[in-house]
Amino acid sequence: MFLVHRLLKRSPSLFSTAALLTFLLVAGGASAQVDQAQYDSGEKLFKANCGSCHKPDKDMTGPAVAGATERWDGKGDLHLWIKDSQGYIKSGNAHAKEIFEKWNKIVMPTQPLSTEEIDAVLYYADHFATVNSSKAAPAGAAEPAAAATPTNNWVWWAITGLLFLVVLVSLGGVRSQLSNAVREKHGLPAEAPLGTWGRIRRWAVRNKGWASVAVLLIVVWLVVMLWNWMFNIGVYGGDKVAHYKPSQPIAFDHSLHAGKDNLNINCQYCHSGAEKSRHAGIPSANVCMNCHQAISEGPKTGTAEIAKIYEAVGWDPNAMKYSGEQKPIVWNKVHNLPDHVYFNHSQHVAVAKLECQKCHGPVDTEMDQVQQWSPLTMRWCLDCHNTTEVKVAGTDNGYYEEIHRRLTQTPMGQRELRKYLEDEKITVRELGGFECAKCHY
Amino acid sequence: MSSTKRYWQDLSELDPAGSPVKATTAEFNEPMPLDQVLADGGIAGSTTSRRDFLKFLGFSVGAATLAACEAPVIKSIPYVNKPEEITPGVANWYASTYYDGEDFASVLVKTREGRPIHVQGNPRFGVNRNPGTGKSAVNARINSSVLSLYDSERLQGPAEVSEGNMAQRSWADADKAIGDGLAKAAAAGKRIVILTNTVISPSTKEAINVFKAKHGLKLNTGDPAVSASVGGTVDHVQYDPVSYAGIASANLKTFGKWAFPSYDLTKADVVVGIGADFLSNWGSTTENTWQYTSRRRPEDATTARPMSRHWQFESRMSMTGANADKRVAVRPSQMPQLVLALHDAIASATGNSGAGKGQLPEGIAAAAARCAKDLLAAKGKSVVMCGVNEEGVQVLVNSINNMLGNYGTTIDMANESPFFRGNDAAMAQLVKDLNAGTVGAILIHGVNPAYTLPNAEEFKAGLKKAALSVSFSSHADETASLCNWITPDHHWLESWGDHNPKAGTFALTQPTIRPLFDTRQWGESLLKWSGQDNDWRSFVQTVFKGTTGASWEQSLHDGAYQGNAAAKEATAFTADLADAARRAMDGVKEGEWELEVFTTEALASGLHANNPWLQELPDPITKVTWDNYISISPEDLSALTGKSFKQLYIGQESPANLLRVTVNGISMELPAVMSPGQAPKTISVALGYGRGANGERVGRAACLRNPDGSPAPVGQNAYPWTTLRGNTMRYEAMEATVEPTGRTYAIALTQTQMTGMDRGSIVKETTFTVWALNKPEEYNPPHTLRVHEDVNKDGVIDARDQVPATSINLWAEHAIAETGHRWGMSIDLNACIGCGACITACNSENNISVVGKDEVRRSREMHWLRIDRYYTSDTHEDTEGLSWAGKLAGMEKPSADPTVIFIPMMCQHCNHAPCETVCPVAATTHSEEGLNMMAYNRCIGTRYCANNCPYKVRRFNWFNYVTEDFSQVNPAWDELGRMVLNPDVVVRSRGVMEKCTLCVQRIQEGKLEAKKEGRPVKDGDVQTACSAACGYGAITFGDLNDTGSAVRAGRDNPRGYEMLEEVGTAPNVTYLVKVRNAAEGDNHQA
């Protein structure tokens, strides 16, 4: 007990640190409890019955559903109100009348829902924000699953290292206490306490060789870290640095337009250059007008953002005609390659038939505001060129058939082909995808 | 560690004061005034301490570093309403037509995002189309004209000029003032004159007629020969700055037509040029060139259609002369004599009456006799073209052609050419009328008489007397700045137009960009001032439909409509030969020094002086840029200056000698450039230079500015040396004085007077006779190297043990020879005429910087493609009686009557490239497709590659040529000029090496198109800018692994050789041995 007492006296912070760590670990493991079944059935009902006028967490044509229970608390029967709003107003509820007037007297049709179903919908709306924020957090990092493993590893290493350090320091203390106890017993005066740093210094002075090696290792490690860090300067996207996600003059929501569960518009409907040109292109506003001539109000931002398109093309939604006054939209460019790089979309889209998401990430599912997903560094390009297979034989593309024919026809070609096929596939690299003048001219 | 030992260079060093050695070795020539600064409190007085300075320094470095980490926000603005035909990133091509009064061509214009950036020949149609190669010929002037669109000195709208001050006005103001002025002139009973170059546009002619109907009587028959003298109120005077009036006038005499003949060189077995630079600057060059070259490939020769034989008689070594099988140097005073002699020889052989005998020196007389023999052997299949602008001489030439039966075969006077109808006499009369005050209003389009007339001062004085003078010029040039009004015309790339270049052929011009400035087409202005509110497009459309009845859309798409020319009967030839001979010899007397002025390949009459690409285009022969000069024979210059040839060579540190030339009392001091082959005691000076000498804004490149803002014209104006003699403008003077000044002038050449030095692997040339033996080892022997091995199995190892150079290889074989693509070029030296259209096409395609005279002088020109010119020498390796050193010195010296060969030279894309092995950062590497690649962003500028390149084709960016420092010469820096840049090619900056990429951007594009369409790359799909520009088939580009390709055929041709094959670079460019149709007696190097 004596020793423990001494230890506690010497380093009171030690135990609090350990306690904090334990707490954090436990807290990290725990998560908010959501009744998933209730939530899911509520979501389904909401999308089927309410979604065209309501949003769970935001006002749209009607008010946000979340918090409705609270808002109605003590003011009337929310379930009756939802089932038959007009009837409920007629029954004389003041709050119902107030809401009706506040929301421009838009009639909410009767809803054939049971009380349990309404509860499910309300449950869904109330928990929508919580569930989505916990979903969004891992989505910020690159591949949620892939990214999690190294992060966790790192944390565990840090904790182990920290514990090891704590043990080391404590043992040092214990050792000096023991040695002092021994000295006390032998009647020698106790050594003046050196402190942790002092002991390290003494050790270093006594073991110059090891100290040098340790310092050298630390310096090398720092240099390597610096070197690796420098590779990320000016890089956006990828899983190491933040994704570039500039604000845009119009809050265009890609996930709404291209998402499978939403409008599911093909990427190339708007980015029509991707198949024909080096530039996928930002669609001109007249492309927006193909649909938005009819759709003047969206589910998220209402008329505010769509009105900006109208302003750009000079469309008067009330008179339903063009004024002729145009004002170009100044977007903030998200994906930017240096001038000395030539990249051609059509090569990758029309010939290689790559999915847009391969480089641009889950634009259709996760990006309301578009961000640079991939780092767009040369290493990133080459990594893909190094591994991606190009089908040269048995395709209906006469170009590659001809390339294949030339490879099989001559002894030199056959030799090359054998070399290519060492890894059993012909990659972009082997067809010249690593050469400078493929992209730099 | 300093040594105590001291070494003295000079005893004076012992003297501590004033040692000259010390002064030269010190870092600073003058002592630094440190003591002074410290003494007078210079530092103590400062409020910034050293620590503060370091803090600021640290802060700014840190701040700059942090700021650099943050990427700037880049804005991107898409179309609001995208035009259907535009896909950003994909080029659109439009068929159009170029005509400027001097050159005509059907072209394709490449536009990117609505900006024209490149011009090349229309491969589907045109009088310039070569059916043999499927390409159309354009010259450097035509494909460079895209740059002049973006000239920031163009007028931005109509302007009123009064007392030298120019003020911008609106079109409404201009229309009102000019309308009033025209009405006033008509009311005063004065003449209204429309002065233009030769008009070939049916619509413009119609517009002029509308104008005439409004403002005057239509007594004009449309015949310019009589137009000026007929007393209508409105006259249309056509004037060509470089006149062909002598020919037109002769044709009027002999065929009753004031016209230039239409030549067909494809039918000519024998071509004779007498002072006519018909491949570069005489006649319809875009037609002449492809027709000429189509008869120059030995492989195409048959008994019925042999390789043509080309005779050239001329004073200066012209580009055309350089291509001749036999060239004879003739002084200007001897030209009429020569024509007489030829006429006499042919007349006597054909039993016709002669016109007298020519007096010629023995050598020329003999040549003329041989030439006559050749002509007589090719009756009806020959052509004589003569550049002497004199009616008598031309009547005799017509008579020669007539006796040979060439009319109806090689020369068409039934369907005469519409070009070159200018009338010098009418122009002279106009100057008189202006001064007499009988002209009330003058409208000037397309010509610049205040610059091009020898009596410009008289013209200027007369112009002031016209109450209304209007210019349609795009610049406030020499003439326009003296007019009351300038109502600028569109650039041709912004214009609508139609042209009738040949009977039955109608070519259309369509705009490829919305007008950059507030300009208006001059035809529309004419209509407006005639009270018609038609827009020009619909007017052209109406006229076109009216004349042809063809589909407007289809014709616009094709660029032209080809109808059937009504068969016309040729008029019979009549001539008064005695009168012609008298006229021809009138005023001809041999002078001590004779002068000839000429137009260059680059600037022509001076129309293109504002185009820096053309200013920097080296002259085909002398390789001079950015100047005009005196072309003189080396012997004459040596005698004049008392210097040896070696001393006369021009280089960075050795300027040219200034000579003072006086002709007709007008003296000019011009630098002299030796031109081997120049006729003795004859000098030649180019026209078209010296623009903007009075500070007119004629374009930044035409007239540079001194630091104080005063004009520094490029070259000097030689037009004052032209004279009107009889009824025609004469471009030669028989009495000139030439004297040395003892002063020098720096001049910028890209190549000195080089010979091939007998190096058989650079210049390979043979004669048709030798070639026809079908023994390539005779004329194209492989280069052999001696090996230390008994390869010939004669038992001894000696000099006879030789193996072909290509069989020895230090490097492992590249797989490209048999796999994938292998891009290459074959260059047929027989088809290359040296014109340089490929150079300017390359400039335009690859964003090549213009660097200006000073940099060119330092050999820093950036052209990726150059055309080397080699002269032959009289001395050879096997010349007897000379020491080795003597031979070397002799071989260096071009002969007085040399043969000239042109060799287009660009990166050879060696499979074993010496440049690649020495690059320390692997910035230049080899591709699997045979390209020698250059990654600019990797280059650190060691220039090892350039040093190691045996072809000297690498170019280093010594400065940031795209910055304001080069603003005067390089258009790429200025906001407007950079619109011409090709967005698919990076603009290189300082410290970076660059070179020909074989237009890799076009290769990539061609492959991608093929991939997208799922087919192999077809031969001809991918064209480099130079190969597309060369309508003659001199440059063929393609995939060498495609066994059916034209380029492979070139490589497999027995004429094919590799440049410097002994170096072992294994290039992907093949040259085909030049074959001349030389005959016995030609001084030809076999």
**Top-confidence range, A77-86, B66-75, B84-93, B878-887:** B84-93
**Number of neighbouring beta carbons within 10 Å of residue B246:** 26
Q: Among A276, A399, A411, whose Cβ lies nearest the Cβ of B90? A: A276
d(C-alpha A184, C-alpha A174), whole Å: 15
Decide if B1008 and A410 are in contact by the 8 Å CB cutoff: no
**Top-confidence range, B186-195, B879-888, B928-937:** B928-937
Mean pLDDT score across all residues of chain A:
81
pLDDT of residue B44: 61
**CA B521, B525, B528 angle in degrees (round to 5)?**
140
Decide if A403 and B984 are in contact by the 8 Å CB cutoff: no
What burial letters (b/e) apply to B613-649, b meaning 16+ CB within 10 Å? bbbbbbbbbbbbbbbbbbbbbbebbbebbeeebeebb
Q: Among A234, A344, A406, whose Cβ lies nearest the Cβ of B1008? A: A344
Tell me which of B709 and A140 has the higher pLDDT. B709
> Which chain A residues are closer than 8 Å to B1015 by Cβ?
398-399
d(C-alpha B272, C-alpha B594), whole Å: 23
**Contact between A390 and A426 (Cβ < 8 Å):** yes
End-to-end CA distance of chain A: 77
Mean of the pLDDT values across residues B75-87?
A: 89
> What are the pLDDT digits (tens) for B292-314?
999 999 998 888 899 999 999 99
What burial letters (b/e) apply to B677-699, b meaning 16+ CB within 10 Å? bbbebbbbbbbbbbbbbeebbbb
> Which chain B residues are closer than 8 Å to A328 by Cβ?
77-80
Decide if B81 and A282 are in contact by the 8 Å CB cutoff: no
d(C-alpha B268, C-alpha B910), whole Å: 39
In sequence order, what are the residues at sequence separation of 6 or more whose Cβ sits closer than 8 angstroms to the Cβ of residue B11?
none
In sequence order, what are the residues at sequence separation of 6 or more whose Cβ sits closer than 8 angstroms to the Cβ of residue B484?
B160, B161, B162, B181, B468, B469, B470
Chain A residues 299-328 with a CB less than 8 Å from chain B? 312-313, 326-328
Chain B residue with Cα closest to A351:
B1012
pLDDT of residue A26: 43
> Which chain B residues are closer than 8 Å to A350 by Cβ?
1011-1012
Decide if B1004 and A351 are in contact by the 8 Å CB cutoff: no
What backbone phi and psi angles, to 5 degrees, belong to A110?
Answer: -65, 145
Using the 8-state DSSP alphabet, how is residue B1037 labeled? E
Chosen from B1004, B1021, B1039 to mutate, greatest number of chain A CBs within 10 A: B1004
Chosen from A406, A427, A431 to mutate, greatest number of chain B CBs within 10 A: A406
d(C-alpha B1001, C-alpha B790), whole Å: 49
Across the A:B interface, residue pairs with CB atoms under 8 Å apart total 172
> What are the pLDDT digits (tens) for B134-152?
888 899 999 999 999 998 8
Decide if A396 and B1014 are in contact by the 8 Å CB cutoff: yes
**Number of neighbouring beta carbons within 10 Å of residue B943:** 15
**Contact between B473 and B448 (Cβ < 8 Å):** yes
Chain B residue with Cα closest to A341:
B986
Q: How confident is the model at residue B12 (pLDDT cuts 50, 70, 90)?
A: low
Chain A residues 418-437 with a CB less than 8 Å from chain B? 431-432, 435-437
pLDDT of residue B292: 93
Out of A57-61, A85-89, A262-266, B185-189, pick the least confident: A57-61
Decide if B81 and A436 are in contact by the 8 Å CB cutoff: no
> Which chain A residues are closer than 8 Å to B113 by Cβ?
none
Chosen from B65, B1012, B1022, B1024 to mutate, greatest number of chain A CBs within 10 A: B1012
Contact status of A287 with chain B (Cβ, < 8 Å): yes
> What are the pLDDT digits (tens) for B982-1000?
999 999 989 999 999 999 9
Pseudo-torsion of CA A364, A365, A366, A368, nearest 10°?
A: 50
pLDDT of residue B515: 93
Mean of the pLDDT values across residues B720-741?
A: 90
> Which chain A residues are closer than 8 Å to B986 by Cβ?
339-340, 440-441
Chain A residue with Cα closest to B1014:
A397
pLDDT of residue B5: 62
Q: State what percent of residues in chain B have pLDDT above 70.
A: 93
d(C-alpha B1059, C-alpha A153), whole Å: 63
**Contact between B404 and B376 (Cβ < 8 Å):** yes
> What are the pLDDT digits (tens) for B366-398?
999 999 999 999 989 999 999 999 999 999 999
- Whether the pLDDT of residue A21 is over 80: the answer is no
> Which chain B residues are closer than 8 Å to A279 by Cβ?
88-89
CA distances (Å), origin B678, targets B558, B661, B835: 44, 17, 19
- ipTM greater than 0.85, yes or no? no
pLDDT of residue B777: 87
Chain A residue with Cα closest to B846:
A441
Decide if B69 and A233 are in contact by the 8 Å CB cutoff: yes
> Which chain A residues are closer than 8 Å to B1022 by Cβ?
none
> Which chain B residues are closer than 8 Å to A325 by Cβ?
none
pLDDT of residue B342: 92
Residue type, A95: H
End-to-end CA distance of chain B: 68
- Whether the pLDDT of residue B522 is over 80: the answer is yes
Decide if A236 and B71 are in contact by the 8 Å CB cutoff: yes
Read off the tokens for B652.
Answer: 């960075």
Out of A49-53, A87-91, A136-140, B238-242, pick the least confident: A136-140
Chain A residues 219-258 with a CB less than 8 Å from chain B? 233-234, 236, 244, 246
Decide if A400 and B933 are in contact by the 8 Å CB cutoff: no
> What are the pLDDT digits (tens) for B612-621?
999 999 999 9
Chosen from A232, A309, A399 to mutate, greatest number of chain B CBs within 10 A: A399
Closest approach of chain A CAs to the CA of B1050, in angstroms?
21
Mean of the pLDDT values across residues B105-125?
A: 92
pLDDT of residue A63: 83
Using the 8-state DSSP alphabet, how is residue B850 labeled? P
> What are the pLDDT digits (tens) for B624-679?
999 999 999 999 999 999 988 888 888 888 899 999 999 989 999 999 999 999 99
pLDDT of residue B109: 95
pLDDT of residue A24: 45
Mean pLDDT score across all residues of chain B:
87
Please tell me the number of Cα atoms within 13 Å of B783 on its side-chain side.
20
Decide if B80 and A431 are in contact by the 8 Å CB cutoff: no
Mean of the pLDDT values across residues B954-970?
A: 84
Decide if A281 and B819 are in contact by the 8 Å CB cutoff: no
> Which chain B residues are closer than 8 Å to A327 by Cβ?
80
Decide if A329 and B78 are in contact by the 8 Å CB cutoff: yes
> Which chain B residues are closer than 8 Å to A406 by Cβ?
818-820, 1041
Cβ neighbourhood burial of B438 (10 Å; 0-12, 13-18, 19+): middle
Closest approach of chain A CAs to the CA of B96, in angstroms?
25
Chain B residue with Cα closest to A350:
B1012
Closest approach of chain B CAs to the CA of A300, in angstroms?
24
Decide if A410 and B933 are in contact by the 8 Å CB cutoff: no
Q: How confident is the model at residue B17 (pLDDT cuts 50, 70, 90)?
A: low
Out of B41-45, B497-501, B589-593, B712-716, pick the least confident: B41-45
Read off the tokens for B548.
Answer: 């042809």
Chain A residue with Cα closest to B1041:
A406
Chosen from B92, B813, B816, B818 to mutate, greatest number of chain A CBs within 10 A: B818
> What are the pLDDT digits (tens) for A374-384?
989 898 999 99
In sequence order, what are the residues at sequence separation of 6 or more whose Cβ sits closer than 8 angstroms to the Cβ of residue B447?
B101, B195, B196, B197, B239, B240, B241, B479
pLDDT of residue A144: 39
Chosen from B82, B92, B1001 to mutate, greatest number of chain A CBs within 10 A: B82
Closest approach of chain A CAs to the CA of B523, in angstroms?
31
> What are the pLDDT digits (tens) for A391-436?
888 888 899 999 898 888 888 888 888 888 888 889 999 888 999 9
> Which chain A residues are closer than 8 Å to B820 by Cβ?
403, 406-407, 431-432
**CA B493, B495, B500 angle in degrees (round to 5)?**
100
